[in-house]
Structure 1
Amino acid sequence: MRNSTHRRWTKANSLFILLVAALAATQTSAAELQDLHLNFEPRTEDERARIANVTAPPIDFNAPQRFEDLPGGAATVRARTDADAFSQPSGNLSFEQELDFRVGNGLFRKIWVSSPASTLASDGLGPLYNARSCQRCHIKDGRGHTPSGPDDNAISMFLRVSIPGGPGHQEIEDYIATQPDPTYGSQMQDLALLGHQAEYTLDITYEDVPVTLSDGETVTLRKPTYTAADLGYGPLHPDAMLSPRVAPQMIGLGLLEAIPVEDLLANADPDDADGDGISGRPNIVWATEFDTPMMGRYGHKAGMPTIMEQSAAAFAGDIGISSPLYPASHGDCTEAQIDCVKGPHGDGDTRVFEIDQISMDLVAFYSRNLGVPARRDLDDPEVLRGKQVFHDTGCASCHTPAFVTHRMTDRPEQSFQLIWPYTDLLLHDMGEGLADNRPEGRATGREWKTPPLWGIGLTEQVSGHTQFLHDGRAQSLLEAILWHGGEAQAARDAVVAMPKPDRDALIRFLESL
């Protein structure tokens, strides 16, 4: 990977891409991934040296690193003290771009209605869906939450579903072939329009799992069991694999999209060649947007390669809205759900699709430019001590602190920024305790993408709760750490065994991010 070369490639929009190795005859491996979604300039050797210097691990923990107070680079926004802390435009947008951001925000918050309707620009909901707007899942652009009771419908949580087998992708090395459930599709929808039957009710039960820490303190984890109850269309396939999902926070997505794939692959070590127990690897998925394999960056298992594709897939699966990328007017409904497929839909007018490409561009722009709040208390002695504990314990092996984004002429707001997301965007085996046993692309049933940590200390302020991990089972940052297993088992055990002041400092550091 250090010997990677840049080539100029013409595809669709004459984009510059990174070609790390010659294309294999039939399969795309990690070394062949490309930044097709970006128009960027190759780095000079001088830039590479400067980047290596500025992103190097810290040596001195007595003071913050340079620029650490600006986790989103020039796109960083002031840290607000209210629930709108994740809803601000990138700090370096122009006036005209802020207008696009506001229009995109309106589309992100739009409440969709059923067809036919007098509001032609907003019809097409469902017929089966999980939410009537993007904002209903990504509440205040923050994290979703688990049900607070049997009548809690605003939970921003659902079940993915698939069964083994299917055609797979011959072009993708190590791809694990799965296919949608023949009746329920790829996602379970718990809401339906009048006259239609919802697919299920999400039923969660918890088992207490006590963990004793070094000082005798006991932390009680809650181990969930998920059931798709009240099935509206008959039984699931006997081999159906269910996986819970809580909506993640939205900040900094465009900056993550702008990290060079070369830099992400530099952290990959699928065979643990260095013997540190960490074997992160990229998820390689089929990019509908570019009709080729690309590296996944979005979703809990990195199943989506770009913000545009992630947004279009969410419109289809969560709201039942068609778009140029996902043109099915009935969303995730299957041929077995005849009434859904044949029901009235909102496409076919001047928009062609229920949301057109112009609107999709604005939604993607909004999602790309939700600003990352500035760090707080980063020079506090306890925060600095916690930062050292974070590094000494090995947390930074997966939660990579810093990157520098591509230099791009058409996305100046994300161009050549030193950012601090604390993620490698790679897949890691997190052990049996967190396993959903459902593959996705190259991700196994035990693997999850390292989530970014920036903004994590503002979760309660924005979302009104402190629920973490892919399914919200952890009710605190400490609980989230204690659920770590697999590649992170050693780091987790170190946290359990360390003196309480060090453990408290570690949490204090995370809260400052």
Structure 2
Amino acid sequence: MPSYFSRILLAASIVLLLTDHSFAQRDPGVRGGLQNTGGGLQAQGIKIPVPPLIVRNGNTQISDNEKRSFYEGILRAGQLESSCDNCAMVTDGSPAPKNPINGLKELDPIFPQFTTNSNGLGARHNADQCFGCHFQPTLGGSGGFLVPNPVDLAKFGPGAARPPENPQFDLIPHRFGKQNIVPSFEERYGPIREVRFIHKVDANGDFIRDSNGALIADGGVHQLWTVKGISNDPTIPNCSLTQPNFEKQLRQNNLAFRIPLQMTGLGLIDSIQDREILARQAATQGARTALGIAGRPNRSGNDGTITRFGWKAQNKSLTMFSGEAYNVEMGITNELFPTATEEDPACNGPNKPEPNDVTRMDSDDEINQSFFNPLHVLADWMQFTLLMRFTDGPQPAPNPSPSAIRGRQLFSDVGCALCHTPTMQTAPVMNSAVLQNRPVNLFSDLLLHDMGAGLADGVSQGQAGPSEFRTTPLWGVGQRIFFLHDGRTSDLVDAIRAHRSNGSEANAVIGAFSNLQISDKQAILDFLRSL
């Protein structure tokens, strides 16, 4: 009988055969194969994020303090959250026990963890640890598949485990007895999806209208899961939160989806100056104009500087990105976002401090929160920032094929590189030598582009409109499973084709791609999968 991965690859092949003949080339698939994803962790474990940065000449390593903070960030990001400050299964802040089945010797935490090791999980949340959404192909990567029942795995051995699947399908919504109903858009072998409502609705899920009868914009995240029924928190026995009626909103076309991208290399993007982004834009302005490509930065409403993180470049910095994600995705309040997304007392317990995750002031290190231990002073959300800051970017294939090498030139010739800018440079002088004056091979201009009706999601963020998106950085795309902001496809051919629709700035470029010989199209696909 074919393996799970063989069935997935066979299904993908059938889809490709049914694809429009103008796109008859074939996506080579995930570089390294699905067996090289998080799905294989019950047999081989999962790697830590790509190594921390080194200075460009390769001689000067990241400083010892920076490296220590990098590894501490891995420990914090891997911790499985409990919802109660006093009900974590192991001492707060300490590494969780190693996997008793495979006995891996890699750096803790072994992932996914079986026991809670931190606290503060919100009454409403999308995930219960950072690496629940960022693990493909290594910790800190994008979304993929995980073993759905690690508790059973620990108890009964590898033979009891089901095949790896979307962790939003079973693992996260039902962990520790949570009583969540999984909506239809979280498919067993589909992408990890965060949900935003396009328009506001009332408690019954019906649209709210203004005095003129017009729909009112929402655009905010509506968390998928609640802690109702959770078995490891005795402080909330009467929690009765209900989930939003996601199926009704799906029928009303009121949902906008987001999927996770990698956290790796973001410190380099954070270190690019605004003038570098604008200079790269100006250098290609003539070629852009000729192809109908505009592009503009999203900007902070406070100081006017360029924002660059998130699908619509709505977040200014790694610090903002980290604090917001901790609150929005896991419901954990912190110094940057001190107010809970759900404040129902029956579901937060009587003794839970708010904000929950803050700079640590303890006089000793009994629970790893000593003010006098430099590694334990920072709040988790700040430690996540340091993890992302000092993680190198995704690495391309070391020996690309001749087709991939030719594809890189064709990628530029048809105009793809006008938005997917291959390289930028970080600031010439920085406090951290490992970040300064080095190339960033991100393949993005970090600008907003109107992608037309086909990709429009109806959500505005910052100055980005309903059909505008930041050019997605393509480094690491060769090992991603799902594409586009909503994860609608796992086929690069479909992702390319989706760039063409009424009003899209990419129409001329996709037209040029369509007119290529099949072998040239294939070369571009081979190049993309080499990144």
Where on the TM-score scale, by shorter chain, does this alignment land: which range?
A: 0.5 to 0.7
Contact 1:159 1:245 in 2 (8 A): yes
Which protein, 1 or 2, shows the higher relative CO under an 8 Å CA cutoff with sep ≥ 6? 1
The superposition leaves residues 190-223 of structure 1 with CA deviations (integer Å, 9 ceiling, x where unpaired) of 11113242433655xxxxxxxxxxxxxxxxxxxx
Say which of 112, 137, 140 aligns to 2:81.
Answer: 112
Q: Which position in structure 1 is the counterpart of 2:141?
A: 142
The answer to whether 1:158 aligns with 2:194 is yes
Q: Which position in structure 2 is the counterpart of 1:61?
A: none
Q: Which position in structure 1 is the counterpart of 2:408?
A: 387
**Local SS of the residue matching 1:408:** coil
Question: 2: CA distance between counterparts of 1:442 and 1:374?
Answer: 32
Question: 2: CA distance between counterparts of 1:350 and 1:481?
Answer: 41
The answer to whether 1:93 aligns with 2:62 is yes
Contact 1:327 1:353 in 2 (8 A): no
The answer to whether 1:326 aligns with 2:333 is no
The answer to whether 1:123 aligns with 2:119 is yes
Contact 1:145 1:472 in 2 (8 A): no
The answer to whether 1:192 aligns with 2:226 is yes
Q: Point out where structure 2 has 5 or more consecutive residues left out of the alignment.
A: 1-43, 55-60, 94-117, 146-164, 173-190, 201-214, 229-238, 362-368, 370-376
Change (3 A) 1:427 1:82: farther
Say which of 235, 240, 260 aligns to 2:273.
Answer: 260
1:376 Cα deviation after fit: 2.3
Question: 2: CA distance between counterparts of 1:380 and 1:414?
Answer: 30
1:494 Cα deviation after fit: 2.3
Change (3 A) 1:481 1:83: farther
Q: Which has the higher strand share?
A: 1
1:312 Cα deviation after fit: 0.2
Change (3 A) 1:101 1:196: farther
- 363-372 or 259-268: which moved more? 259-268
**Local SS of the residue matching 2:469:** strand
Question: 2: CA distance between counterparts of 1:468 and 1:348?
Answer: 35
Change (3 A) 1:250 1:179: farther
Question: 2: CA distance between counterparts of 1:301 and 1:87?
Answer: 26
What one-letter code is carried by the residue in structure 1 that aligns with 2:265?
Answer: G
Q: Which position in structure 2 is the counterpart of 1:248?
A: 261
Question: 2: CA distance between counterparts of 1:116 and 1:85?
Answer: 27
Q: Point out where structure 1 has 5 or more consecutive residues left out of the alignment.
A: 1-80, 165-177, 204-225, 230-237, 460-465
Structure 1 vs Structure 2 CA RMSD: 3.5
1:83 Cα deviation after fit: 5.5
1:467 Cα deviation after fit: 1.1
What one-letter code is carried by the residue in structure 2 that aligns with 1:489?
Answer: N
Q: Which position in structure 1 is the counterpart of 2:515?
A: 497
Counterparts of residues 314-353 of structure 1 (less than 5 Å): 314-328=325-339, 330=340, 332-333=341-342, 345-347=352-354, 351=358
Q: Which position in structure 2 is the counterpart of 1:359?
A: 380
Contact 1:127 1:196 in 2 (8 A): no
What one-letter code is carried by the residue in structure 1 that aligns with 2:510?
Answer: R
1:487 Cα deviation after fit: 0.8
Counterparts of residues 176-325 of structure 1 (less than 5 Å): 181=218, 186-194=220-228, 195-200=239-244, 227-228=249-250, 242-268=255-281, 274-286=289-301, 292-325=303-336
**Local SS of the residue matching 2:457:** coil
What one-letter code is carried by the residue in structure 1 that aligns with 2:141?
Answer: G
Question: 2: CA distance between counterparts of 1:353 and 1:193?
Answer: 26
What one-letter code is carried by the residue in structure 2 that aligns with 1:128?
Answer: R
What one-letter code is carried by the residue in structure 2 that aligns with 1:364?
Answer: T
What one-letter code is carried by the residue in structure 1 that aligns with 2:53?
Answer: S
Question: 2: CA distance between counterparts of 1:179 and 1:363?
Answer: 35
**Local SS of the residue matching 1:428:** strand
Contact 2:497 2:510 in 1 (8 A): yes
1:274 Cα deviation after fit: 3.5
Residue identity (%): 28
**Local SS of the residue matching 2:300:** strand
1:379 Cα deviation after fit: 6.1
State TM-score, norm by structure 2. Answer: 0.63
Q: Which position in structure 2 is the counterpart of 1:370?
A: 391
Question: 2: CA distance between counterparts of 1:228 and 1:200?
Answer: 11
Contact 1:295 1:305 in 2 (8 A): yes
The superposition leaves residues 151-202 of structure 1 with CA deviations (integer Å, 9 ceiling, x where unpaired) of 44555321123658xxxxxxxxxxxxx9985xxx921111111324243365
Question: 2: CA distance between counterparts of 1:362 and 1:392?
Answer: 42
Contact 2:272 2:425 in 1 (8 A): yes
What one-letter code is carried by the residue in structure 1 that aligns with 2:338?
Answer: P
Say which of 439, 445, 458 aligns to 2:479.
Answer: 458
Change (3 A) 1:268 1:489: same
Question: 1: CA distance between counterparts of 2:169 and 2:317?
Answer: 35
Question: 1: CA distance between counterparts of 2:216 and 2:276?
Answer: 32
